[in-house]
Amino acid sequence: MSEQNGQKDTVTLTIDGVEVTVPEGTRVLDAAQRAGVVVPYYCYHPGIPTRPAQCRVCLVSVEGQGKLQPSCVLDAQDEMVVHTATEEAKLARKSVIEFLLVNHPLDCPICDAAGQCMLQDYAFETGQLESRLDEPKQVMGRDRISDDIMYFADRCIICTRCVRFMREVAEDDALIVAERGHRAYIDTFPGTKLDNPFQGNIVDICPVGALVHEDFLFKARYWDMDSASSVCPGCSNGCNVAIDTKENQIVRLKPRHNAEVNSYWMCDHGRKHLVMANRGIRAEVPLLRGEDGELRPADWAEALETVAERLGEVSGGRAVVSPHDCNESLFYLRRLLDRMGIDGGSFTVERGEEATLSGFPKLKLRADRAPNVSGAEIFGFERADGLSGPEAGAALVVLEERLQGAPAELDDEAFGEDASYFLYLGSRISPAARAADAILPVTSFAEMQGTFTNWEGRVQRFDQALREPGIARPAWMVLSRVLELMGEGEAVLEAADAFERMVGDTAPMEEATWASLGLKGAPLAPTAGSGAGGA
C-alpha cells in the first residue's frame, strides 16, 4: 500500500476474506500464513531456496484465473482475491491426498512419524474414509541411505525436500531422485555415500515417515513424548533445539527455528552428543566427609550449613569450572569466589574439527565443543590446556565436571587431595571428586532452566527437559543459598530471578528480563573468545 518515491514495496490482497498487506514478492502461501489461513503444503519448506510446486496440495482459487494456482510460487499482487477453500480447491486437495495414499502402506501403527505426519494430518482433515483402490499396492521396501538414516520408500511422497536440502543447503549432491514417475525413489548419487555432518536434517524435514534415524527407530511414539525448548550443548554455536524425552530419557534432539543462529537446522554432532546425557551414575544427594574420613549422605540443610561454615574460614584458593555450566551458575560461583578471595579460575574445552552448513554459514559446528565458553570467560574464568591441582593448603572449588572426556588430571584421585578444603558441585561423581570434603549434587542443563552465551555473545535460554535426579538442584540455586547463609544476599529459587540478578550485576551484559529473552535469546554479551568485544 505504501508508495514511496513511486516505488511500491508492499501489496495488499484478500485471502479467504482476510485483507493482508505483505512485502512485494511475497508468495501467496506465505501471505496466507500471515493472514492466519492454513494452506497445506509438502514440497515447500521455508528453509530451502527452491520451490518446485510439485506436491500440488497448496492449490488455491484466484479470482479471474481459470485454473487453480500453486500458492507456494504464486506472487501476491495488489487486489488479488484468493480463496483457499472453494469446492474446486478442496476437491483438488482431497484428490492429492487420495493419490498419495494409492501406494502408501498406511503403516502408521509402526511408523515413527505417526502423530506428527503431514500426510496423516491432511488425510484426516481433507481425505476420504473409504479407499477406491482395488489394485495391489506397489511395494518398494526400505533401505539404509546412510550409516544412521533409513529410507522407507513406500512411505515417501517424493516431495524432494531431502534432495533439495542436501543440494541447496548442505551443498552436497549426495541425494537424488532415482527413476521417475510412480517408480521414483530417493537414493544416494551412484558411487557416493550420504556422509555429511548435517544430514540428520533430512529426517526432520521429511513431512512423512520416509526418512528415519536409526537411533530413534521404534523408540517412541510422538504422543508419548514430552518436549522442551533448549539449546544444543554440543558446541559454542548455540543452536536452538527441542529436546524430546520419553519417560525421563532423552530420545532425540530436533532443531528449533532461529533465524539468527541456526535457521531450521542443526548438525549431527549435536544430535548424537546429548544421548550421552542419559548415561552414567548421577550424584543424587549431598555427601559430606565425616570425621571418620568417609563420605556420608546428608540433607540439603545440613550440607549447605556445613559448606557455608567451612567456606567462611577459607581465604584464597583455586576454582575449576566447566564450559557446560550455565551463566547463572557461573555468576553465583563468581560471587562466592569473590567472597572467598579467590581470583580467576580455569576451565578446559574439548576441541574438534569445524564444519559449516554452506547454505546457512552462520550454522557451524564450532571447534569449542561446549555451549558456554563465552559465559565462562565473561565471569572471569580462563581457558586452560589442562588442569593442575591446588597448591597445598589452598581451597578448591569445582563446579561440574565435563559431560564427557574429563581430563586425566581431573580423573586422578589425587587431584585436590592437597586442598585445605575441597568443595565439589557436580552432577556426577568423578574419581577426582572422591577426594572432596563436600559433594553437592547439581542438575545437568537438561534438568533445569538457565542460559548459555554462545560464541557471538548471544544469551539463550533453555528449559527443563528432564526431572532432576534425587534431590539434586541447579547449581545457581545451591550457590545462592550458600551465599545467603554466608550473609550475601538472598537465595533464588527461580531461574528468571537468577538471570535478572545476573544481568543486573554483570557489567558486560545488557539488561534484559527473562520474559524479554524469550525462547530465541538476545545478543546481551560482547563477543567473547579471541579478540573479545571486537568486531
Partner 1 sequence: MAYPHRHENETTTLLSRHMGEEKARHLDGWLERGGYEALRKAVDMEPDEITGVVKDSGLRGRGGAGFPTGMKWSFMPGADDDRPHYLCCNADESEPGAFKDREIMRWTPHLLIEGCLIAARAIRAGHVYIYVRGEFFPVIRILNDAVSEAYEAGYIGEDILGSGWSCDLTVHIGAGAYIAGEETGLMSSLEGRRAEPRVKPPFPAQHGIFGQPTTVNNVETLSAVPMILSNGADWYRQWGTEKSPGTKLWCCSGHLNRPGNYELALGAPLRDIIYDVCGGIPDGRDLRAVIPGGSSTAFLTPDELDCETTYEGLKEVGSSLGTASPIVMDESTCLLKAMRRIAHFYAHESCGQCVQCREGTEWVTKILERIEHGEGKMQDIDNLYDLCEQLTGRTICVLADSVVFPLKSSLDKFRDEYEAHILRDTCTAS
Comparing CB distances to partner 1, the nearer of 56 and 142 is: 56
Comparing CB distances to partner 1, the nearer of 60 and 311 is: 60
CB of 51 to partner 1, least distance (A): 8
Q: At what angle do helices 300-312 and 475-485 cross, to 10 degrees?
A: 60
CB of 103 to partner 1, least distance (A): 7
Element housing 409 (H / E): helix 408-411
**Binder to partner 1 among 15, 157, 169, 446 (CB under 8 A)?**
157
Q: What track of x and - describes contact with partner 1 for positions 405 through 444 (by CB under 8 A)?
A: ----------------------------------------
CB of 279 to partner 1, least distance (A): 44
Q: In what side-by-side order are the strands of the sheet with 249-255?
A: 226-231, 240-246, 249-255
**Binder to partner 1 among 183, 279, 296, 467 (CB under 8 A)?**
183
CA–centroid distance for 279 within its chain:
19
CA–centroid distance for 431 within its chain:
30
**Binder to partner 1 among 39, 123, 158, 326 (CB under 8 A)?**
158
Which stretch, 175-183, 234-242, 257-265, 382-390, contacts partner 1 (CB under 8 A)? 175-183
Instruction: Report the alpha-carbon distance of residue 97 to residue 127 in Å, rounded.
Output: 6
Look at the alpha carbons of 535, 366, 174, 169 in this order and tell me if their dihedral is positive or negative. negative
Number of C-alpha atoms within 13 angstroms, CB side, residue 203?
A: 27
Q: How many CB atoms lie within 10 A of CB 38?
A: 12
Comparing CB distances to partner 1, the nearer of 100 and 333 is: 100
Comparing CB distances to partner 1, the nearer of 191 and 531 is: 191
Distances, alpha carbon 320 to alpha carbons 40, 315, 428, 500, in Å: 52, 16, 15, 25
Comparing CB distances to partner 1, the nearer of 133 and 493 is: 133
190 binds partner 1 (CB under 8 A): no
CB neighbour list of residue 164: distance below 8 Å, 6 or more residues apart: 45, 48, 49, 50, 52
Which stretch, 96-104, 297-305, 383-391, 428-436, contacts partner 1 (CB under 8 A)? 96-104
SS3 sequence of 494-509: CHHHHHHHHHHHCCCC
Within positions 28 to 57, which residues make up the interface with partner 1, using CB under 8 A? 51-57
Cell numbers 539463550: residue: 460
Comparing CB distances to partner 1, the nearer of 68 and 370 is: 68
The identity of residue 310, as a single letter, is R
Query: Facing residues of 297 across strands?
Result: 287
In contact, 466 and 447? CB cutoff 8 Å: yes
Instruction: Report the alpha-carbon distance of residue 440 to residue 283 in Å, rounded.
Output: 8
Comparing CB distances to partner 1, the nearer of 65 and 513 is: 65
Q: Is 422 exposed, middle or buried (0-12, 13-18, 19+ CB in 10 A)?
A: buried
CB of 66 to partner 1, least distance (A): 8
Total residues contacting partner 1 by CB under 8 A comes to 35
The identity of residue 347, as a single letter, is F
Q: Where does 369-518 show beta strands of DSSP type E?
A: 382-383, 395-399, 421-426, 438-441, 450-453, 458-462
Q: What track of x and - describes contact with partner 1 for positions 100 through 129 (by CB under 8 A)?
A: x-xx--------------------------
Comparing CB distances to partner 1, the nearer of 158 and 239 is: 158
Comparing CB distances to partner 1, the nearer of 138 and 513 is: 138
What 8-state DSSP symbol labels residue 146?
B
Comparing CB distances to partner 1, the nearer of 167 and 269 is: 167
Query: Facing residues of 18 across strands?
Result: 15
Q: At what angle do helices 300-312 and 327-340 cross, to 10 degrees?
A: 40
What 8-state DSSP symbol labels residue 153?
G
Secondary structure class of 349 (helix, strand, coil): coil
CB of 212 to partner 1, least distance (A): 22
Comparing CB distances to partner 1, the nearer of 59 and 406 is: 59
Comparing CB distances to partner 1, the nearer of 53 and 423 is: 53
Q: What track of x and - describes contact with partner 1 for positions 239 through 268 (by CB under 8 A)?
A: ------------------------------
Within positions 59 to 78, which residues make up the interface with partner 1, using CB under 8 A? 59, 67-68, 70, 73
CB of 95 to partner 1, least distance (A): 4
133 binds partner 1 (CB under 8 A): yes
508 binds partner 1 (CB under 8 A): no
How many angstroms separate the first and last alpha carbons of the chain?
38
Cell numbers 530420545: residue: 251
CB of 245 to partner 1, least distance (A): 35
In contact, 400 and 447? CB cutoff 8 Å: no
Which stretch, 28-36, 95-103, 139-147, 359-367, contacts partner 1 (CB under 8 A)? 95-103
293 binds partner 1 (CB under 8 A): no
177 binds partner 1 (CB under 8 A): yes
**Binder to partner 1 among 13, 22, 60, 92 (CB under 8 A)?**
92
Comparing CB distances to partner 1, the nearer of 133 and 259 is: 133
Footprint on this chain of partner 1 (rule: CB under 8 A): 51-57, 59, 67-68, 70, 73, 91-92, 95-96, 98-100, 102-103, 132-135, 138, 157-158, 177, 179-184
